Amino acid sequence: MAGNRKKTIIISLVILLVSVVIGGGIWFFTAPSAEAKAAEVGSTSTQSPLKMSAYYIVLPEPFIFNVSGKERDRVVQIKVQLMVRGEQNEALAKKHVPLVESVLLQTFAAATVEQLRQPQGREQLRQQALTTVQATMNKMTNMPVVERVLFTGFVMQ
């Protein structure tokens, strides 16, 4: 009995040792190298803009302004959101919301009723707003920060 018991213990220990060696070998060959980990960490800060998460910044109040027309003046209300990529750009855009609102109001106030009646005129205004916001953010942060200006509400009376 004692001999059988010793054999069982030895066989169990050998099986355990072989299992540990096989598991260690699998881990060694499948684990990413230190170079790969360093490259992965470096790539998160230099990801292309389209691979970074999109964040939407809702401007707190809608823009309400008068526009002049041939027949009569109109009141326009536009709700705006800014699309940015990455947490860093989100923080920068939120920090400069008052400046962005000021620039957008100036851009919107230059529009005419005839321009805002047409879909292509509203798209042109949106593009103009994006260009203006990006230029302003470039001056403040040396980066355009905002990828898109979105009109989420548009009413003209």
Q: Kindly report the CATH number assigned to the domain that includes residue 69.
A: 3.30.479.30
- Nearest CA to 101 out of 147, 68, 54, 57 is that of 57
Shared-domain flag, residues 124 and 69: yes
For the entire predicted model, the pTM comes to 0.65
Q: Which residues contact 71 (CB under 8 A, 6 or more apart)?
A: 113
Is 73 in the same domain as 142? yes
Q: Which domain holds residue 82?
A: 49-156
Percent of the chain scored above 90 by pLDDT?
48
Shared-domain flag, residues 40 and 9: yes
Residues 56 and 95 in one domain: yes
Q: Are residues 63 and 101 in the same domain?
A: yes
Give me the torsion for CA of 13, 14, 15, 18, rounded to 10°: 120
Q: Measured between alpha carbons, how far is 104 from 93 in angstroms, rounded to an integer?
A: 13
Same domain, 38 and 59: no
Q: What is the largest CA-CA distance in the chain?
A: 111
Rounded average pLDDT over 80-103: 93
Residues 9, 64 share a domain? no
CA dist., res. 68 & res. 22, Å (int): 79
